[in-house]
Amino acid sequence: MTIGDRIKRLRQERGCSQAQLAGKLNTHPKQVSKYERGINPPSREVLVRMTKVFNVSADYPIFEERSDKDQNSIAGRELVQKLSEIDKLSEQDKAIVKGGLDTFIIKSGFQRLATATEKMGS
């Protein structure tokens, strides 16, 4: 599934038109159509706004959903443990951790997108 397919699916699941999504993203409906058709990828700023509009993790629009087996791996269990520890932090500290995680996830997403684009160009 492409990033455009995931954007379209998220939009449709929320019963949102391209025009409505464009308004929420502060962009033009034609741009949303281009995102969904894979003509233009959304910018980092649009991806961040999109995650807030759809209330999804920062990596969801870029990558496929993680399977259940990922959560059962050792690294997955360690991550779940860390997340439960983060849940005990103050709201201010949680916001700081979330901001840092978003930064790393977005960076990783762009690196994967760049790698995929290079492979397509080869």
Residue 38 Cα distances to 18, 41, 48, angstroms: 14, 6, 18
Tell me which residue range forms the domain holding 67: 3-121
pLDDT digits (tens, 9 = 90+) for 59-85: 666 665 543 444 445 566 677 677 778
Q: What is the pLDDT of residue 72?
A: 47
Q: How many Cβ atoms from other residues are within 10 Å of residue 49's Cβ?
A: 16
What percentage of the chain has pLDDT greater than the value 90? 26
What is the Cα–Cα distance from 9 to 86, expressed in whole angstroms?
A: 30
Are 61 and 42 contacting, i.e. CB atoms less than 8 angstroms apart? Answer: yes
CATH number at residue 82: 1.10.260.40
pLDDT digits (tens, 9 = 90+) for 90-99: 999 988 988 8
Q: What is the pLDDT of residue 66?
A: 41
Reported pTM: 0.52
Q: What is the pLDDT of residue 114?
A: 77
Q: What is the pLDDT of residue 111?
A: 80
Tally of structural domains, the chain? 1
Q: Of 61, 54, 56, which Cα lies nearest the Cα of 112? A: 61
Question: What mean pLDDT value characterizes the chain?
Answer: 80
Mean pLDDT of 47-60: 81
